Homo-oligomer: A and B are copies of this chain.
Amino acid sequence: MTGIDAPTHPFDTAIAVEYIDGHRLAGHTCPDYANMVGPFGGVTAAALLRAVERHPERVGDPLSLTVNYAGPIADGPFEITARPVRTNRTNQHWQLELTQDGTVTTTATAVFGIRRDTWSDLELSMPSVPGPDTEGVEPQIFPDFIAWGRNYDLRFVAGAVPDVEPTAEIPENPDSVSTLWLRDTPARPVDFASLTAMSDAFYPRVFLRRGRYLPAGTISLTVYFHATAEELAAQGTEYLLGRARANRFGHGHFDQIAHLWGHDGTLLATSHQLVYFKG
């Protein structure tokens, strides 16, 4: 939809940040993107990215973003500071903080830069899997307490979310791999901000391995943006293909890596996160 009557997409409402002065911005959590505790981490990361995108001194497009989830974010207003600490000829380094009532809940760093044509090659090809409309590739219905899940159309090819109610026979999974098609619902053309959020749309791998929900939360998330703005624009509202897995679980933590390809096979982003868990 276009024109003056076009409604604002809930994602744009959730990541809306406005400059107050200098390097300070105001934002507000959005119930549509609530997680079990506080907002969905992906939408917090996207709001931080958007803060840089909207800064008048911003140079280029996102290359990398690291977000550290230092403490819970309460429902309500928050403040972001976005400071360009160094601007080079072709890239720019940012430091960010998200605070509530003066308490730091989230820190981040970002690198933006100008892309240019060079030798190129894709080593990690998109896996060949059944399409999103294939029988058996069913939409995932999240439980009510995961509000943000309702804003994504997630169609799992493999490694779907376990049932909330553990059964007598918990089906532990031999590996932590999920492969799924995903897009915003309602549909929204993908951009760097939504790509950021989708990089965190893979539920904690420990749920899959243990076959049940457990207390778990992202400590640190890093996204590398491979896509150019043109490559992203070419995706429109098509499904992206995502694949996530973990390498090692132990001592209360695990890592989680994810890859996102466009429907045309372009690797758009890779993400890595360190996750805390109990049990």
Chain A residues within CB distance 8 Å of chain B? 63-64, 66, 68, 70-71, 85-86, 88, 90-91, 93, 95, 97, 103-105, 107-109, 111, 113, 115-124, 175-176, 206, 209-210, 219-220, 222, 224, 226, 228, 245-253, 255, 257, 259, 267, 270, 272, 274, 276-279
Contacts and interface: CB of A to CB of B under 8 A. Distances in A.
Given A85-B107, A120-B250, A123-B245, 20 more contacts: A63-B220, A68-B111, A70-B85, A71-B86, A85-B104, A91-B219, A91-B276, A93-B107, A95-B107, A108-B109, A115-B251, A116-B251, A118-B277, A119-B249, A119-B250, A121-B249, A122-B249, A124-B247, A220-B222, A226-B255
27 contacts: A63-B219, A68-B111, A71-B86, A85-B97, A85-B104, A85-B107, A86-B103, A91-B276, A108-B109, A111-B219, A115-B253, A116-B252, A118-B249, A118-B277, A118-B279, A119-B210, A121-B249, A121-B250, A122-B250, A123-B176, A123-B249, A222-B272, A226-B248, A228-B251, A248-B270, A257-B257, A270-B272
B68 A109 contact: yes
Contacts of A247: 122-124, 226, 259, 267, 270
A90 B267 CA distance: 36
A262 B259 CA distance: 27
A279 to B, nearest CB: 7
How many chain copies? Answer: 2
Contact of A224 (B123, B206, B259, B272): B272
A121 B209 contact: yes
B118 A251 contact: yes
Nearest to A206: B119
Contacts of A111: 68, 219-220, 274
By Cβ-Cβ distance, the 10 closest A-B pairs, closest first, are A120-B250, A115-B251, A124-B247, A70-B86, A70-B93, A66-B66, A64-B220, A248-B267, A226-B248, A222-B222
Contacts of A71: 86, 88
A248 B66 CA distance: 19
Nearest to A85: B104
Nearest to A268: B248
Given A71-B86, A88-B70, A95-B107, A118 B222 contact: no
Nearest to A226: B248
Contacts of A117: 251
Contacts of A224: 255, 272, 274
B64 A248 contact: no
A101 to B, nearest CB: 13
B123 A175 contact: yes
